[in-house]
Amino acid sequence: MTIDRIEADYLIETSFPPEAAAESMAGEQSSGTFLAIPGETPELKARAAARVERLEVLGDAAAPSLPGSGSPRSASEPRRVTANVTLSWPVSNLGPSLPNLVATVAGNLFELKQFSGLRLLDIRMPAAFADAYQGPQFGIDGTRRLAGVEGAPILGTIIKPSVGFGPEETAALVERLALAGIDFIKDDELQSDGPHCPFDERARAVMAVINDVAQRTGKKAMFAFNLTGNLDQMKHRHDLVQSLGGTCIMAGLNSVGLVGMIELRRHSALPIHAHRNGWGYLSRHPMLGWSYIAWQKIWRLAGADHMHVNGLRNKFAESDDSVIASAQACLTPMFPAKPCIVMPVFSSGQTARQAPDTYRRLRSLDLIYLAGGGIMAHPGGPAGGLASIRESWEAAIANVPLEVYSRDHTALAQALETFPS
């Protein structure tokens, strides 16, 4: 990539000649219009035009993946193909601005009639973007330091039920978990400031027990308080958590949006746990929307410290390959001078069962591993559930099969019985 151009990779499906279709993307997202315009000059267009850098036809597509696409007027037998396309833009079209980058690489083009499929696969930004945004403040090292966990994944859980608990019920559960020695607990993404569980009361009740347990045991659980809300609410809630000795905040990326995240990062003195709920509507059709590889870069540069990536054998529709690719992306540097590495968060239907495969495939311990029912519904209670997951990670690191390791590790043995594969 030349130093001053933005690049984006797309998967397209089109019955138009693919070169012409790719040029229509470039035109729509830069100096194009559907008719020649007075005042346009070749110099102007050349200065601002997006370029088709690469085009690779992958193969034939049978039926159109998406409705509404047109056909070229002159071709008697249009052939529909899929292709990989890379476009580039001069950064001088927009400057190093994340909100305007989104409009440029992911704007109107998904609606173009030329395409019966169009998905954004990846984005590469010039270094000017690294200078313009803060990126993660804590990342892996800062999170480990605050959580007091080295040499192992950060093990955690989610407060369930998602909604229904009040502050005292939440705090009572947190106390059990903290006494069990848990590293990390998070609010559910549905729980921010409901009248039955107001944020401020919950934060005070939860931090009272976390601080108390920390004094007694020396282990201070990191609690990610979901402060998703309007900007003033989020700032107030952040300040409250900080004043109470809390060590993490959480926000829903699709709820707050890019400006909300950028502002939260500017204000925050705590790690930002970024929830991706709503990700399905951005990604679930394979010929539409965003790949996680592209999407997570926006939020890492904006300032997320932890990014959700789903989990292996999860309760959702996503494949294990996709989950691992997402987590690897979070651990891959974005810029030489500002790598923006964030902790991938594995979550959704996780128990002691998935640790070995997670480690085998990711080859890293830099992750947050969240189990809800896998900890809470263990026959030994939260302490047993947590122990079972610690033991499963020990087994994974030692490359010992779970069934073998469980012979002299009771909590793990109970987990394998309770949560069949």
Q: Which residues contact 250 (CB under 8 A, 6 or more apart)?
A: 186, 187, 189, 224, 225, 226, 227, 228, 272, 273, 274, 275
Near a second copy by CB under 8 A: residue from 7, 318, 366, 391: 318
Nearer to a second copy among residue 233 and residue 364 (C-beta)? 233
**Sign of torsion over alpha carbons 325, 327, 333, 338:** positive
Strand-pair category, 248-252 with 51-60:
unpaired
3-state DSSP assignment of residue 281: helix
Positions in 198-227 near a second copy (CB under 8 A): none
Length of the chain: 421
Other beta carbons within 10 angstroms of residue 321's beta carbon come to 10
Positions in 85-104 near a second copy (CB under 8 A): 92-95, 97-100, 102-104
Which of 381, 363, 139, 405 is closest to 270 using CA atoms? Answer: 139
Strand-pair category, 117-124 with 288-290:
parallel
Nearer to a second copy among residue 351 and residue 358 (C-beta)? 351
Q: Which x/- pattern, by CB under 8 A, does the window 274-313 give for a second copy?
A: -x-xxxxxx-xxx-xxx-------------------x---
Positions in 256-275 near a second copy (CB under 8 A): 256-263, 275
- In the complex, the smallest distance separating the C-beta of residue 167 from a second copy, rounded to whole angstroms, is 13
Give the Cα separation of 293 and 313 in Å (integer). 20
Give the Cα separation of 260 and 254 in Å (integer). 10
Near a second copy by CB under 8 A: residue from 45, 216, 360, 407: 45
Give the Cα separation of 409 and 388 in Å (integer). 8
Positions in 8-27 near a second copy (CB under 8 A): none
Give the Cα separation of 136 and 263 in Å (integer). 13
- In the complex, the smallest distance separating the C-beta of residue 246 from a second copy, rounded to whole angstroms, is 20
Query: CA 412: distance to chain centroid?
Result: 29
- In the complex, the smallest distance separating the C-beta of residue 86 from a second copy, rounded to whole angstroms, is 18
From 14-22, 66-74, 333-341, 406-414, span contacting a second copy (CB under 8 A): 66-74
Nearer to a second copy among residue 144 and residue 378 (C-beta)? 378
Positions in 160-199 near a second copy (CB under 8 A): 160-165, 169, 172-173, 189-190, 192-196
Maximum separation of any 2 CA atoms in the chain, in Å? 80
Q: Taking a C-beta distance cutoff of 8 angstroms, is the pair 181, 217 a contact?
A: yes
Nearer to a second copy among residue 246 and residue 382 (C-beta)? 382
Positions in 106-165 near a second copy (CB under 8 A): 106-113, 115, 118, 120, 160-165
Strand-pair category, 306-308 with 343-346:
parallel
Give the Cα separation of 78 and 68 in Å (integer). 16
Near a second copy by CB under 8 A: residue from 3, 35, 62, 337: 35
Q: Taking a C-beta distance cutoff of 8 angstroms, is the pair 201, 225 a contact?
A: no
- In the complex, the smallest distance separating the C-beta of residue 14 from a second copy, rounded to whole angstroms, is 12
- In the complex, the smallest distance separating the C-beta of residue 7 from a second copy, rounded to whole angstroms, is 16
From 62-70, 77-85, 212-220, 389-397, span contacting a second copy (CB under 8 A): 62-70
Nearer to a second copy among residue 227 and residue 365 (C-beta)? 227
Nearer to a second copy among residue 132 and residue 404 (C-beta)? 132
Alpha helices, DSSP H only, in 194-291? 199-217, 231-243, 253-267, 279-283
230 binds a second copy (CB under 8 A): yes
- In the complex, the smallest distance separating the C-beta of residue 46 from a second copy, rounded to whole angstroms, is 9
Give the Cα separation of 111 and 108 in Å (integer). 6
Nearer to a second copy among residue 240 and residue 282 (C-beta)? 282
Nearer to a second copy among residue 45 and residue 79 (C-beta)? 45
CA distances in angstroms from 210 to 25, 175, 248, 377, listed in the order given: 53, 7, 13, 22
Give the Cα separation of 115 and 25 in Å (integer). 10
- In the complex, the smallest distance separating the C-beta of residue 334 from a second copy, rounded to whole angstroms, is 19
Binders of a second copy: how many residues, by CB under 8 A?
104
From 13-21, 34-42, 54-62, 237-245, span contacting a second copy (CB under 8 A): 34-42
Positions in 401-420 near a second copy (CB under 8 A): none
Residue by residue, DSSP assigns 367-389 as: SEEE-SHHHHTSTTHHHHHHHHH
Positions in 355-384 near a second copy (CB under 8 A): 372-374, 376-377, 381-382
Nearer to a second copy among residue 147 and residue 294 (C-beta)? 294
Nearer to a second copy among residue 14 and residue 143 (C-beta)? 14
